Amino acid sequence: MTEPDESGARGLQSVERSFDIIEYLGQEDGATLSEAADDLGLAVSTAHIHLTTLVETGYVVKDDDVYRCSFEFLGTGGERRDGLALYQAAKPELDELQAETGEHTNVTVEERGYSVQLYKSESPHSIDDDASLGDHFYLHLTATGKAILAELSDERVAELLDRRGMPALTDDTITDEDVLYDELETIRERGYSINNGEHFPGVCAIGTAIASEPDGAIGAISISGPRSRITRERIEEELAPALLNKKNIIELKIRQFE
């Protein structure tokens, strides 16, 4: 007998189930058939159908009894990232900025109401939240996310906040919409945002949006490091001017690609 989600009428639910399994395998760094079925609340037969199909398509690999996501996702995501003018323009500039400041530098884009990390130039002398490439972050609690929000209308910001909410990850995370809107106005006036331990305890970052006509903000760049070094004085005297200079260079380079 066919499982309900395997019928033609429920085809989309079947696709969603496969992606639930992929996300689960990514989070768990692999699982056996019985583990996947138990954790996802699936019949073993249903989990087996999905996993077998994903193995056949190459998006999941099976090592002995353990299923894991394959590197197909790395190729797919990498091709998309490498084709972006933002990434091509930002990467060498962020490498240079990292060398100049001794802190990590990042570039992100907004996708589905999240900030997605495209690239991080890491300094051996700095620390941050240790996020991986492709990680998704809430916009309201990162420097790049707030920089992107500041480029949007209040109506669009409200739509994104309604969609994703404003969860707190630290005691310093902004969870009041009025406070966030006030901060976004400040960001618009000075040209850069600050995340002061709002995403990860002890880590501070400053960010600024990257704009491209006629698309508006297409992403954002940031400098991040320990709170003890990313002080208000250093931000104003060194880091913000350096970040805004790279913003201008990146935007000019992107125009050459258009």
Q: Do domains 4-70 and 76-257 have the same CATH topology?
A: no
Domain boundaries, the chain: 4-70, 76-257
E-strand stretches of the chain: 60-63, 66-69, 104-111, 114-121, 136-138, 193-196, 203-212, 216-226
CATH dotted code for 4-70: 1.10.10.10
Percent of the chain with pLDDT over 70: 95
Looking at domain 76-257, its CATH architecture is 2-Layer Sandwich (3.30)
pLDDT 10s digits, 162-199:
999 999 999 999 999 999 999 999 999 999 999 999 99
Number of C-beta neighbours around residue 65 at 10 A: 11
Predicted TM-score (pTM) of the model is 0.82
